[in-house]
Amino acid sequence: MPSEQQQPQPSEKPATPPTPRRRIVSPGDSLWKISEEVYGHGRYWNDIWTANLALIGADPHALNVGIELILPDEVEGS
């Protein structure tokens, strides 16, 4: 009985991770305000701060105009 030959499967390309969303801090911005604009509610400000802790530092109110924040795709409780 002849053996069945398997057709070579097309090679699958590995999925590329999504590019994180980013936002440049403007004058008058706060993490609460950015959270409202991006996620529809200010309560997610802490998620933005946590994602950018190395950039912002220990004081979440000390945002420097012009810095580029990474905005998490998923936030707590969303």
Question: Tokens in use for 73?
Answer: 């795709």
What is the number of other CB atoms lying within 10 angstroms of the CB of residue 51?
Answer: 17
Q: What is the pLDDT along the chain (78 residues), one digit of tens a residue?
A: 555 666 666 566 666 666 679 999 999 999 999 999 999 999 999 999 999 999 999 999 999 999 999 999 988 865
Domains of the chain, CATH where assigned:
21-71 (3.10.350.10)
Instruction: Look at the chain and count its residues.
Output: 78
Question: At residue 22, what are phi and psi to the nearest 5 degrees?
Answer: -135, 160
d(CA 42, CA 38): 9
What's the N-to-C CA distance of the chain in angstroms? 59
